[in-house]
Amino acid sequence: MADFKTELGKVTLKNPVMTASGTFGYGYEYAELYPLDKLGAVVVKGISLDPVSGNPMPRHAEITSGVINAVGLQNPGVEEFINGEKYLPFLRKSNAAAVINIWGKTINEYVEVAEILNEQNGITALEINISCPNIKEGGIAFGTDLKMANKVVSEIRKVTTLPLVTKLSPNVTRIADFAKTVVDAGSDMISLINTLTGMVIDIETRKPVLANKIGGVSGPAVKPVAVKLVHEVYNAVDVPIIGMGGIQNGSDAIEFMLAGADAVAVGTAVFSDPYAPLKVIEEIGQYLDRHNIKSVKDIVGRLESV
């Protein structure tokens, strides 16, 4: 059987499959189904300085080959996340690698959250969300402006020794430029892609389906876009990459890894099959064994020319 050990800079995971932020809650929601430490890592819903109730309903809808959502980064706030039994204390007990996604409406809020979490045990890394299209302040505003992207990462880097993952937006013209600027600012890793911006209209009512009007598109429909952008970033920077966007099975995950991803995150697939991440792990193993590949790292970036 192939070696699944995955090295992301200073972070070592037992396998390269994690969950995508916003799709797996805080881990406890799925812990009755299987032990969380079977995953490479659990990436939690975005945590902000203060509690956030999210956008008004309706805030999600099924679309062809995917989902569109405008949940609005609902979360309990960093203090409750640290102290509430079902949040960080639960993750510590699970023995799962825990990546904490963070966001803010201002750079100061990002920094405060990062500084608070830096003092906590049981955190594997911070994922900086500069790419969510579902809130009116912060989020994508930082992820689509090169100077702001650099600034938020550099300021967070000053207050934490935790490994930093920056989550990039696909809603830009040259994603390689954003990868370079966040790495220059101190990001140890990059994750991509976050959702594509979209809109759905009910033709009978002639109104947007989402109360927020626009939302983030995810699921199988975005996978070819995500694979392309991962490959562009792989060729632009020399840091570990976590690829995501429409991964449903092991074959999808291998596409991302051949394109340059060191690890992958399973997101929307969990909504229809909560066991999807475990199946992805199993199917990657089957692929490696079938091709007599000894280590999962040996397929990263091994895309052959046409």
Given 132, 152, 172, 296, the catalytic residue: 132
Q: Is 260 a catalytic residue?
A: no
Instruction: Tokens for 3, please give them.
Output: 């070696």
> Nearest-CA neighbor of 189 among 122, 263, 245, 120?
263
Question: Which residue numbers are catalytic?
Answer: 132
